[in-house]
Structure 1
Amino acid sequence: MPVPVFFLALAVFAMGTSEFMLAGLVPEIADALGVSLAQAGLLTSAFAVGLVVGAPLMAAVARSWRRRTALLCFLAVFVVTHVVGGLTGSFAVLLVTRLLAAVAYAGFLAVALTAAAELVPPERTGRALAVLLGGTTIACVVGIPGGALLSAAFGWRAAFWAVALLCMPAVARIPDPPVTAKPSGLRKELAELRRPRLAGTLLLGALVNAATFGVFTYLAPLAAGLAPVPLVLALFGVGCFAGVTAAGRLADRWPGRVVAFGGLLLLAGWVVLALVPAVLPLLAFPQGALSFAVGGTVITRILRLATGAPTMAGSYATAALNVGAAAGPVLGAMVAPVWAAVALVAVALVLAVGLRLRWRWC
C-alpha cells in the first residue's frame, strides 16, 4: 500500500476526531463562553450541516485543481479554523469555525477518497479505501474520551490545539496522484446521479450509515447500567476498525457477498439487541464490525460505479454517508435507536436485492 494513503488516513483520523470530540466538550464550552447547553449543542448541528453540504460543494469548486492542491487547501482551512476556535472567546466565532471546519473536512474526504483510489491498481481500491476509512473508525474510538481527557487536564481549548497538531504530519506527504480520467463537464458529472444503479447504491450507503450512527449516537444511554460506557464505546469503535479493514480485502473480490451476508448478520444483530437490550456489551464489537464492513464495501462500489464523474465521485459517497449520519440520530430519537436501525437495514437489504437482480452489481 502506498505510504501517502496512510498519511491521508492520519489526516482523516484527526478531522474525524474533531467531529466526535465535541460530544464530551459541550458542557465546558457552554460554561466558558456563557451560553446555554442548548446553544452549545448548535456546534454539533453546525458541523453536521457543514459535512452534508461541504462534500459536493467543495468537490465542485476544486474539480479543476490538482489533487494535492485541493487536499492541502482543505487541510489548511481545517487547521486554521481549529487555531481560531482554540483562541476565540466568542461563541458566534466558534460556531462559524465549526461550520467551516466541517466544510473543509467534507471537501478533504471527498477528494481523498478519489485520490486514494487513483494511487492503487483498480483491484486494490477496496484495500486503499479501507486504510483511509480506518482513520474515521479510530476517531470513533478516541474522539469522545480523548477530548474529555484533554479538557479535564488542560481545558477544552487543548482539544482544538491537539487536532490542529495531528493534522500537521500529513502536510508533508499529501500525494499528487496522476489523474487517470479526464474530467468532463460538471453538468455531465452531476447527470451521473440520475443513473438508477448509482443513485440506488448511494441510497444504500445512506441507509446503512443512518443505522450505524443512529445507534452509535445513543450508545452511552443504551449501555448505562449494563457495562462501563467507555468500554462499550471502545468495543463498538474497535469493531468498526476491524470491519472496515476486513472488508478492504473482501470488497475487491466479493462486494455482493459482503453486503448480502454481512447485511443479514447485521440485521439479525440489531433485532436481537432490540429484543434483549442486555446483550449490548456482547454485540457492540460484532455490530460495529458488520456496520463498517457493509458500509465500506458500498463506498468502494460507489466509486466504481461513478466512473463518469471522476472529480465528483468521492463527494457523492461522502455526501451519502453524511446524510445517513445526520438522519440516523434523528430517526433514532423519533422511534427508538435500535428499532430504527432494524428498519433501516431491512430496507437497505431489500434495496440491495433489487440492485443485485437488476444490475448484477455483485
Structure 2
Amino acid sequence: MPSTTKQAQAAPKTGTRHLALAIVSLAMGGFGIGTTEFSMMGLLKEVEQGLDISTPEAGHLISAYALGVVIGAPVLAAVGARMPRKYLALGLMLFFSIANLTSFIAPDYGTMLVSRFAAGLPHGAFFGVAAVIAASLVAPTRRGWAISMVMAGLTVSNVVGVPFATWLGQNFGWRLLFLLVGLIGIITLLMLWRFVPFQEPHADASFRRELSALKRLQVWLAILIGIVGFGGFFATYTYIAHTMTDVAGIPAAWLPLVVALYGLGMVAGNIVGGRIADKSVMGTIYWVLPATAVALVVYAVAVHWPWSAFVMVFVVGGAGSMLVPALQTRLLDASPDAPSLASSLNHAALNVANALGAFLGGLVIAWGWGYVAPALVGAVLALLGLGVALVSGLVERKRPLAR
C-alpha cells in the first residue's frame, strides 16, 4: 500500500481545529503565490510604462515566471524528496519571499526578467508538497476536498490579494506588488512553522524514486491535459486589462473589480471542482474542458458590452479553475509512490499553459486580430485538451492505474 494512503487513513485522528489551521497555513502560501502571479495581468499597462517596454515584452515577464515554475517544480520537488515535507515547504516559501523582494528592487527589464524567473522556481514545488501534506491529513475519500482547500489560497488571492495589489499598483506604483507579496511570504513562513505538523520523510524517499513518476504514460497525459486544456484560461486572463478597457470600454479604475469577479469565479470553480473530483476525477475533466471552451466563445462575444463582460469574466474564471483539483488528484493517482514530484508537475503543467497562453494570445494580438482573439484561441486549446483526456481514458481502460 502506498505510503500516502497509509498516512491518509490515519488522518482522521487529526483534530478538526489543527487540521483547519494546517490547511489555512498551506493555503496562505497559495494566496501569496496567486497574488504575484495574477496581479501582473491587471498591472500590465503600468509595467509597460514603468519599464518602457511593449505589450508583448511585458507578456514575456509573465512567461519568465511560468518558465521558472516549469523548471523549478520537478527539480526542487525531486531534490527535496528526502526532506521532511514541513521543512521543504518552509524552504520553498523562504526562497519565494526573497525572490519577490528582489523583483521589487530590480532596476531594468533584463533584471526583472531574471527575478521573475527566480520567483517562479519554488511555485510548483510548494503547491506540490502542500497538496501532499493536505491529502495526508484526511481520509482518502476527502483528498479532492483537501487539495481544493489548499488551492483556495490561490483562488481567494484573486478576490482579495490581486484586486488590492492592482489598486495599490495603479495608485502608488506597480513595484509595491512585490513588496506586498514578500510580506505575505514572511507571514506564511511563521504560520507553516507553527501549525503544519511534522512528518518523517518516507524511508524509501529519494531523488530517483521521485523521478520514477516520469516513466508513467498517464502522468505525461495528465500533464498534457493541463498544458493544452488550461492554456485558454491564461490566453484570456493575460490580456484582460487591455480587453476590458479597449473592447468593453470599462474605465481602468474598475480593473480591480474585474479581477475580483474573475477571482470569485475561481473560488467557486475550485470549491465545486474539488467536490466533484471526489466523485469522479476523469468525469470532471471530461465535462469541464468543453464547458470552458463554450464559456470562452461566449466571452468573446459578450466582452463588447460592459455588463455582459462582467458576467462572463466570472463564468470564465469559474470554468477554468474547476479543472485544477481533478488534475492534481489525477497525478497523485497516477504516481502514488512519487507524490511530491507528481503533485508538483500539475503546477509545472499549468504554468507551461500560462506561458503558452500568454505567447499565443500575444501572437494573435501582434497579428492584428484584436484583444478578443485570445479567448477564441483558448476555446480551441480547451477542446484539444479534451482530446488528450479522452486518449488518457482509453489507455486506462486497457491498463488501469495501480491502486
Distance between the aligned counterparts of 1:210 and 1:66, measured in 2? 33
* Alignment-derived partner of residue 268 in structure 2: 242
Equivalent residue for 2:368? none
Contact 2:30–2:150 (CA<8 Å) still a contact in 1? yes
TM-fit CA distance, 1:51: 1.5
Partner of 1:226: 248
Give the TM-score normalised by the residue count of structure 2: 0.79
Tell me the distance in 2 between the aligned counterparts of 1:179 and 1:311: 14
The answer for unaligned runs of 5 or more in structure 1 is none
Q: Given residue 310 of structure 1, which amino acid in structure 2 is its aligned partner?
A: P
The residue number in structure 2 matching 1:8 is 26
Q: CA deviation at 1:71?
A: 1.2
> What percentage of aligned pairs have identical amino acids?
30
Aligned to 2:52: 36
Question: In 2, Cα distance between the equivalents of 1:135 and 1:325?
Answer: 18
Q: Using the alignment, how far apart are the partners of 1:7 and 1:56 within structure 2?
A: 23
State the distance in 1 between where 2:227 and 2:281 align: 17
Q: 1:303 to 1:41 in 2, by over 3 A?
A: same
Deviations 1:108-127 (A, max 9, x none): 22322222222222211111
Q: Residues 210 and 324 of structure 1 are in contact (CA less than 8 Å); yes or no, is this contact kept in structure 2? A: yes
- Check if 1:334 corresponds to 2:363: yes
- Mapped contact 2:144–2:278 kept (Cα < 8 A): yes
63-72 vs 223-232, which moves further: 223-232
Q: Aligned match of 2:88 in 70, 74, 82?
A: 70
Which deviates further from its counterpart, 78-87 or 63-72?
78-87
> What's the CA shift string for 1:168-200, capped at 9, x where partnerless?
332233224535854454334324323222211
1:170 aligned partner: 188
> What do residues 48-97 of structure 1 show as CA deviations (whole Å, max 9, x unaligned)?
22122111111122111111111111111222233344456566655443
Change (3 A) 1:263 1:101: closer
C-alpha displacement of 1:5: 1.1
Aligned residue number for residue 355 of structure 1: 392
Cα distance, 1:183–1:313 mapped onto 2, change above 3 Å: farther
Structure 2 match to 1:346? 383
Question: Aligned in 2, Cα 1:167/1:266: closer, same or farther, shift over 3 Å?
Answer: same
Q: Is 1:255 paired with 2:261?
A: no
Indicate the SS of the match to 1:64.
coil
Spell out, residue by residue over 1:219-251, the C-alpha distance to the aligned partner (whole angstroms, 9 max, x if none).
233334436363443322211110111121211
Letter of the structure 1 residue corresponding to residue 176 of structure 2: A
RMSD: 2.9
Instruction: Say if 1:137 and 1:241, in contact at 8 Å, map to a contact too.
Output: yes
Aligned to 1:108: 126
Q: 1:258 to 1:162 in 2, by over 3 A?
A: same
CA distance in 1, matches of 2:119, 2:137: 26
- For 2:377 and 2:44, the matched residues in 1 are separated by 26
Q: Which amino acid aligns with 1:220?
A: A
Output the amino acid matched with 2:396.
Answer: W
Q: For 2:62 and 2:321, locate their aligned partners in 1 and report how far apart those are by CA, in whole Å.
A: 22
